[in-house]
Amino acid sequence: MSKKKITDSGSKKTDDLKKFVVNTKDTTMTTNQGLRINDTNNSLKSGERGSTLLEDFLLREKITHFDHERIPERIVHARGSGAHGYFELYESIAEFSKAGLFTDTSRKTPVFVRFSTVAGSKGSSDLARDVRGFAVKFYTEEGTWDLVGNNMPIFFIQDAMKFPDLVHAVKPEPNKEIPQAASAHDTFYDFVSHATETLHNQIWAMSDRAIPRSFRMMEGFGIHTFRLINEKGESHFVKFHWKPKLGVHSVTWDEAVKISGADSDFHRRDLWDAIEAGQFPEWEFGIQVVAQKDEHKFDFDLLDPTKLIPEEMVPVRIIGKMTLNKNPENFFAETEQVAFLPGHIIPGIDFTNDPLLQGRLFSYRDTQLSRLGSPNFHQIPINRPIMPTHNNQRDGHMQMDIPKGQTAYFPNSLSGGCPHLSKMAEGAFTSYEERIDARKIRTRSESFSDHFSQPALFYRSLADWEQKHVTDAYIFELGKCMHQHIQERMLYMIAQIDTDLSQEVAKGLGLKVPNSVDGPVNQSIGADADVSKHQPPKKKIYLDKSPALSQANTKFDSIATRQIAVLVADGFSMKNYKKMKQTLEKAGAVLKLVAPHGGKIKCDDQMEHKVDAAIMTTESVLYDAIYIPGGKKSIDALKNEAKFIKFVNEAFKHCKAIAADDEGEHFIDDTFVSKHKNDNAVLINSKPSDFVIAIAQHRNWNRMEIAKNLPC
């Protein structure tokens, strides 16, 4: 994460948006027609206590606009947060792609990014267990390219035809509209347990990836195999990756549940605050390239979006970096109205026949028509490309441009043939000339049938503590299912991935893992299909482990932007505080004074300090670590407030770093931590630099077994 001076612009796109920004500073209120208004509080009435008159155009304008100020939320990914930024290329990959943003290292390509949860409504909690959307709009000089990805490298289904079923299964159940933003219910697992292709993404959703610490600490993936096309028209297969500079980190499920109550905007606030503070989130951009001739060399099909290419088999080559450096001016105008379309493509990149991708190419344009209400949605400021657009598409709801001239067709002579077509040499797009010689057929390729090998690879690759989290997540999710046959069918599916895992989950549910299921294992096939051809074979082991899949192997070298709660009351030790503050802030952390009351408190030097949060307004789960400076008076006051004790106990339970100095140790003695002073991430009278190392570790998972038994 780079810390830079906040810049208001810096890109062609943010400069372009400035034209549309309306500032009300030093202005007078008017109607939408420019008429000055001197009363916006009272309607026009027949007498002081009389009825309102139909004549009141001021009331009508105000109320009518209000009545229509909502648009349909996105059918999936309704809850999201956006930010502006730019993409820079480290090295040209002209050998693979002719795209300007991949060949010209002097370019700074503007981007707008929207992160989202999938299942919840617009007002749901950020910390739901869910996949996260990671959609990037690149405003390139050759047109807009949208890379509409997720924070997990695979998807639940293999064919777009199944998307409505998947979404209907996971969304609130149609009779009672319950549960909100949660996969832990019968319909989801009913579907999953009958459609084995879902199991890979489903086990990822049980892992810590589904409860990120921050959007800034998530990976992003394009998921599908795309093509890169070079100047010679040659194609290479490619998978796109985003790698966060801060590493990949998550919260625990217990925290996620509590954060949802304490601050349901936790991720949104975190992204906004980091950018406002000039601590700009950064991701490196990587590609996995596979030569055309190697299309069939893998144990899985490159066109199957439920499969990843292990990084140990095809390394990710880092070629650039994205920095987010500006918050939107207006949530609705930008974050809500931004329209991402996988079909927004540029020369140098192309699609493959991945049947999920192919369906997405239709769905996203279609959905904008009902969400934004017009085929002119590309004219909304956030959606406008940075290059001029010219064609013969005309009219429609809310046409914002004024197309000039007599003609709106091609070819023409009356407008001199304009807009004329572009020659290939001038940078026109052309689709990759893939050779196709096939029968028209409605089926699933047999090469898509292996549904157990990769979820098993994922699970095997996780660290012990990650596996434990997956087990607990399954017990929670399946424990919320009311139908035993669904739970048992799921246990059978999990057993195909890992028998120990299924036994542990079964124990938690108080059930036994069944030896078979009713009907075919996979029922996601056509009625007349040859069932035997579409049953997943037993799992294969083509790679023992993929270390890249485990968060245990991420970066632990930074505490930048980590939130540290400093527990203080009047009389806290300034000497302790100052020393700790200097070291932590130098390393980029953010210290927050949490005190018995709001306003100001005094340290033992009698200086006043602004309180960041009164204990009644905050919770331990909102911080990454805790520091308790000494000062007898302060510690006595903290001990008097039970919530401070709970605060520290919870941080300990969540395996966070805790430091205390001098009398701060007496406070620790009143908490669960007292028995664990030799824990690696409990630092009493230690060097501040040791605290930095402990915070950078994110969590001390060695504490997990002890923490589990703490009653808080």
Q: Which is nearer to ligand HDE, 270 or 498 (CB)?
A: 270
Helix (H, G, I), strand (E, B) or coil at 166: helix
Residue 375 lies near ligand HDE (rule: CB under 6 A): no
Residue 340 lies near ligand HDE (rule: CB under 6 A): yes
Residue 163 lies near ligand HDE (rule: CB under 6 A): yes
Residue 272 lies near ligand HDE (rule: CB under 6 A): no
Candidate residues 110, 120, 149, 664; the one interacting with ligand HDE per rule CB under 6 A: 149
Residue 363 lies near ligand HDE (rule: CB under 6 A): yes
In the range 209-268, which residues lie near ligand HDE by CB under 6 A?
223
In the range 289-308, which residues lie near ligand HDE by CB under 6 A?
305
With CA atoms as reference, report the closest residue to 126 among 208, 202, 214.
Answer: 214
Candidate residues 74, 451, 469, 539; the one interacting with ligand HDE per rule CB under 6 A: 74
CA distance 186 to 204: 19
Residue 380 lies near ligand HDE (rule: CB under 6 A): no
Residue 160 lies near ligand HDE (rule: CB under 6 A): yes
Residue 360 lies near ligand HDE (rule: CB under 6 A): yes
- Catalytic residue, from 150, 201, 325, 383: name it: 150
Q: Which is nearer to ligand HDE, 85 or 133 (CB)?
A: 133
Q: How far is CA 346 from CA 129, 145, 148, 364, in A?
A: 34, 6, 14, 17
In the range 109-128, which residues lie near ligand HDE by CB under 6 A?
114, 116
Token pair of 685 as six digits: 């009278």
Token pair of 164 as six digits: 């409505």
Token pair of 255 as six digits: 């925290």
What's the CA angle centered on 454, arms 452 and 459, to 5 degrees?
A: 95
Choices 37-45, 145-153, 373-381, 644-652 (CB under 6 A): range interacting with ligand HDE: 145-153
CB of 201 to ligand HDE, least distance (A): 9
Candidate residues 133, 455, 536, 631; the one interacting with ligand HDE per rule CB under 6 A: 133
CB of 357 to ligand HDE, least distance (A): 7
Strands (E), 4-150: 80-89, 108-117, 132-140, 143-150
Whether cis (ω within 30° of 0) applies to the bond prior to 179 is yes
Residue 77 lies near ligand HDE (rule: CB under 6 A): yes
For 103, how many CA atoms within 13 A lie in the half-sphere containing its CB?
Answer: 16
- Catalytic residue, from 77, 241, 249, 654: name it: 77
CA distance 138 to 405: 31
313-347: b (≥16 Cβ within 10 Å) or e: ebebeebbbbbbbbbbbeeebbbbbbbbbbebbbb
Residue 80 lies near ligand HDE (rule: CB under 6 A): yes
* 77 catalytic per annotation: yes
* 150 catalytic per annotation: yes
Candidate residues 1, 11, 13, 76; the one interacting with ligand HDE per rule CB under 6 A: 76
Residue 505 lies near ligand HDE (rule: CB under 6 A): no
CA distance 651 to 712: 10
With CA atoms as reference, report the closest residue to 129 among 260, 29, 283.
Answer: 260
Q: Which is nearer to ligand HDE, 247 or 355 (CB)?
A: 355
Contact 200, 152 (CB under 8 A): no
Total residues interacting with ligand HDE, rule: CB under 6 A: 24
**DSSP notation for 392-425:** S----TT--S---SS--SSS-STTTTPSPPPPGG
Contact 644, 582 (CB under 8 A): no
In the range 554-613, which residues lie near ligand HDE by CB under 6 A?
none
Q: Which residues are CB-contacts of 324 (< 8 A; sequence separation ≥ 6)? A: 83, 84, 85, 111, 113, 271, 275, 280, 281, 282
CB of 6 to ligand HDE, least distance (A): 24
**DSSP notation for 572-633:** B-HHHHHHHHHHHHHTT-EEEEEESSSSEEEBTT--EEE-SEEGGG--GGG-SEEEE---HH
Residue nearest to ligand HDE (CB): 133
In the range 305-334, which residues lie near ligand HDE by CB under 6 A?
305
With CA atoms as reference, report the closest residue to 104 among 319, 315, 318, 288.
Answer: 319
CB of 380 to ligand HDE, least distance (A): 13
CB of 149 to ligand HDE, least distance (A): 5
Choices 25-33, 147-155, 234-242, 431-439 (CB under 6 A): range interacting with ligand HDE: 147-155
CA distance 338 to 378: 9
Choices 53-61, 207-215, 357-365, 475-483 (CB under 6 A): range interacting with ligand HDE: 357-365
Q: Which is nearer to ligand HDE, 355 or 536 (CB)?
A: 355
Active site residues: 77, 150
Which residues of the chain form contacts with ligand HDE (CB under 6 A)?
74-77, 80, 114, 116, 133, 135, 148-150, 155, 160, 163, 223, 305, 340, 356, 359-360, 363-364, 367
